[in-house]
Structure 1
Amino acid sequence: MSTVEHETGEVRSGWKALLSGRNAAYSVILAGGVTLHAVNIYIVTTILPSVVRDIGGLEYYAWSTTLFVVASILGSALSSRLLERVGPGRAYASATALFMAGALICAVAPAFPVLLTGRFVQGLGGGFLLALAYAVIRLVYPEALWSRAIGLISAMWGISTLMGPAVGGVFAELSIWRAAFWSLVPLSVIFGTIAISVLPRGSRDEAEPSPLPLPQLVLLTASVVAVSAGSVSANPLWNATGLAVAGLMAVLLVRAERGARARLLPKGALDTDGRLVALYATIALLVTGMQTDIFVPYFLQVLHGQSPLIAGYLAALMAMGWTLGSMLSAGRAGEAGTRAIRTGPVIVLAGLAVLLFFVPVPGSVRLQLIPICAGLLLVGLGIGVAWPHLVTNVFKETPVSEQGLAAGSITTVQLYATAFSAAAAGMVANLGGLSEPGGAEGASSAALSLFGIFLVAPVLGLVSVRRLGGRRNPETVAEAAFGD
């Protein structure tokens, strides 16, 4: 696809340019799609105990998240094909319709298995919405605004972290969990109508629509299901088996991708001496470092005497740090953007080190929470500082004909790393003593193991960012030379 033509030769690159005129409408749509998906995640997490009490299904509790994540990854992986075929406006409308259909199924579900079907459909639509946000950025904004637009999208996660639990808590307190899903229906209708009215409707892609990478999609799904299934048990052997099977599927996925005509990743993404592989590795490693937040509310309650509500909102500091970092870093360009990428793993490493030092030590003294809050904020801040420039550089390293594929692949890598590292965090915490001996002693030991082992992720991130000086994608170099 090609970038939309702009009316003047002068390109403004500040926040004012992003949030004024027609760009403002585009920004509302892109940010709104991500917010719709993200708020839904936190609302459902909050109301799920009420759902189980009403219609049963405790034995399937974890699969509400598992199927949602699997479907989101599939949606992100397929987003470039949808965009190729119908264009931005219709792609957003289709994704929103799927999301709304899933919400409707959940709202009327008489039993938990039916609700799981709705969650899968919701996840598919949400995965499309996430990936389309990155893909449409390059179509509706000039390149000078890309990093700020990505920063704006990232900011929506922090906002959703604050909104979602509060909204879900209201529905749960009133014992009307179905209304939580019903409330998403009119929002979806309004959003989808605006999106198809404002965004370009037709496809402007210069290349022929590419076939589906079915073998890779099957292996990708199998890998995520395996790692998710492994994470739902407290048995370390079961955890390890899930990770091992997922790892095997991942190796087969890479082999299939290397030799395939229809791919999930753009050309050059698996070249070990190239910049693209370093960018994707850094994305995955930074996201991995953040998955320690799964157990932060538990540690804060058991070790530091915080209420569930306070612990939940303190854990949200990671997401808020991501938002703050993205907003502060998004305006950088050129070498400053590269420095931001290289700084990201350093800040994440510092944050995890602070958490390693303070979280495992029991105590309810208020002053003890200050360094813990600082550590949580630093982890998110490090990811946010690097994120806009990681995404922008993926676009720059990808041939023009595969920009849509690149956009979908960013979300696919992000979600895959999230699923895999979340399961790994569960295994590490269980092996560290979370369940046995349990209690404060087990929580302290588990926190020490979790933050200690997950320090490896930003350390490896420091290695991957050093590879950004590697070989440029030869096709993008050729395009640049031709353009000159």
Structure 2
Amino acid sequence: MSKIDIAVNNKEGASWSDLFSKGNSLKAIILALGVMLHATNVYLATTIMPSIIKEIGGMEYYAWNTTIFVVASVIGSVISANQMVRSGPRKAYQIGILLFSIGTLICTLAPTMPLLLIGRFIQGYGGGLLFALSYAMIRLVFTENLWSRAMALVSGMWGVAAFSGPFLGGIFAEHGHWRWSFGVLLLFCVFILITASIILPKERNDHTITPIPYLKLSLLSLAVLSVSIGSVQKNISENVMGVVIALLFLILLGLAEKKKTIRLLPTGAYKISSALGATYAVMALLTIATSVEIYVPYFAQVLYKFTPLKAGYLTVLIAIGWTLSSILFSGYKGHSAKKIVISGAFLMFIGLTGLSYIAITNTLSPDWNLVLNCICLLAIGAGIGMGWPHLLTKVFSLAPAGEEDLTSSSVTTVQLIATSFGAALAGLVTNVGGITDANTIIGVTNASIYLYSSFATAPLVVIMILILISQVGNFKTN
């Protein structure tokens, strides 16, 4: 899933006016707002996190705010189908928005980092429900000819959030009121709750209950938590042990997926020797490489003295580069697709290496710092965006027989899992780099060098996989 997925298939010729006529407008708006609320919160939290750390502390848990939120989002997304059947569409949506509201209220009032993390988990779970339900309900509340338009509208909310999140968070953070930015989200929650309670259907015709894979979700959560716990340990051996334990949990997850129960990913997903497994590995590594964005606002504010608003919008550059390059390069076919993915990975390597160089020199003027940071962040986003449509197409074309729907939904699952691991690993690397050291400037500088340079290896591994794994060597797209 890119930050903005563009729906282009509109076979029945339905127009935008059709989507906003005949009683469809409120349905379209409420589903779009559900995704926008979740997406805005993602960017908002990243923007205000430096301000939160200044007030309540907990620097060593900086990355946990993203890790815990994303893990909870994965759980909410996976459980959404079951929740919708058991409770009905309307009640499921109400549960999602109420949980998100409770989590947001806790974050607004949190006096300490542990309480904030609890709020972030509840936020993530509710947001994951809203995110998944907003897409799932498109098939329920609209006729088939409107599906592509509705998908485009809902997906486009990530683009809106890329600007609203940093703006909302940055404005309040600059005036020392980061809590108010969460408070404003509560106002949207009330509006969405009231409107959804009126216009969404109470029941659905399909009463097939999807089992919840409790064991697999637990193994996944424990794997991410292991890396996160290891990241805050002072001893290097304990840091490494956290990663080792996480790998063991992932191995257990792979073994559990072999059983004929509900799966998180389709058959072959856990074998890098298979075409599908190698493609997932490429997607995961590229996504992990973008996880540096969670620390961009903090580095910008501490090292370069950027304002919260300016620092927040630096993060958006990755999303902008991702979206624009996805559009520009999505039309290429055949053997060109593989070259584009490789070229994109190399561009990401250049961007991450460039950020490392900026951190190492640390003697550039503020203007040059801003310009070069912008260029490098755009390069990272453009790099992953270049190949993303072709990776999605490859996944769809490799769907095992009878697992087409699971394969389609697996794209979001893989990206969310990779994002959670990326955030956990970023926390580990920056803590080892000395981000919590007493001498803030030196510690943060070292942490930024460690983060950017180590994460630059991810796109290099992608290039190696694409060259060496013969099954993925042919990236033809139909």
How high is the TM-score relative to the length of structure 1? 0.75
- Distance verdict in 2 for CA 1:38–1:346, change over 3 Å: same
**5+ unaligned residues in a row in structure 1: which ranges?**
1-7, 473-484
- Aligned length in residues: 457
Structure 2 residue aligned with 1:188: 189
Distance 2:49 2:445 in 1: 28
Segment drifting more, 126-135 vs 368-377: 126-135
> 1:350·1:375 contact (CA, 8 Å) conserved in 2?
yes
- Distance verdict in 2 for CA 1:368–1:166, change over 3 Å: closer
> 2:318·2:380 contact (CA, 8 Å) conserved in 1?
yes
| Residue correspondence of structure 1 range 348-359 to structure 2 within 5 A | 348-359=348-359
2:364 alignment partner, SS class: coil
Structure 2 residue aligned with 1:284: 284
Offset of residue 447 of structure 1: 4.0
RMSD: 4.5
Distance 2:400 2:175 in 1: 52
1:74 alignment partner, SS class: helix
Q: 1:166 and 2:167 equivalent?
A: yes
> 2:10·2:145 contact (CA, 8 Å) conserved in 1?
no
> 1:130·1:411 contact (CA, 8 Å) conserved in 2?
no
Offset of residue 284 of structure 1: 0.9
Q: 1:81 and 2:82 equivalent?
A: yes
Q: 1:220 and 2:217 equivalent?
A: no
User: Could you list the per-position Cα deviations for residues 377-429 of structure 1 after superposition, in whole angstroms to 9, with x for gaps in the alignment?
Assistant: 01012223333454455445446865554455333322222222223233334
2:360 alignment partner, SS class: coil
Structure 2 residue aligned with 1:323: 323
Structure 2 residue aligned with 1:460: 461
* Matched-pair identity in %: 40
Structure 2 residue aligned with 1:71: 72
Distance 2:10 2:99 in 1: 39
2:363 alignment partner, SS class: coil
Distance 2:152 2:457 in 1: 26
Which AA in structure 2 matches 1:99?
F
Segment drifting more, 190-199 vs 377-386: 190-199
Structure 2 residue aligned with 1:21: 18
Which AA in structure 1 matches 2:39?
A
> 2:49·2:298 contact (CA, 8 Å) conserved in 1?
no
Distance 1:47 1:186 in 2: 19
User: Could you list the per-position Cα deviations for residues 273-318 of structure 1 after superposition, in whole angstroms to 9, with x for gaps in the alignment?
Assistant: 4443233222211111112233434544565554554344334322
Structure 2 residue aligned with 1:345: 345
2:247 alignment partner, SS class: helix
Distance 1:456 1:378 in 2: 16
> 1:89·1:199 contact (CA, 8 Å) conserved in 2?
yes
Distance 1:279 1:151 in 2: 25
> 1:279·1:464 contact (CA, 8 Å) conserved in 2?
no
Offset of residue 18 of structure 1: 7.3
Q: 1:129 and 2:130 equivalent?
A: yes
- Distance verdict in 2 for CA 1:77–1:239, change over 3 Å: farther
Offset of residue 222 of structure 1: 1.1
Structure 2 residue aligned with 1:478: none
| Residue correspondence of structure 1 range 31-430 to structure 2 within 5 A | 31-44=32-45, 62=62, 65-82=66-83, 91-104=92-105, 106=107, 116-132=117-133, 156-157=157-158, 159-171=160-172, 179-191=180-192, 203=204, 208-233=208-233, 235-301=235-301, 304=304, 306-307=306-307, 309-329=309-329, 332=331, 335=334, 338=337, 341=341, 343-365=343-365, 366-367=367-368, 369-391=370-392, 393-398=394-399, 402=403, 405-406=406-407, 408-430=409-431
2:346 alignment partner, SS class: helix
Distance 2:84 2:177 in 1: 37
Distance 2:357 2:125 in 1: 40
Segment drifting more, 17-26 vs 363-372: 17-26
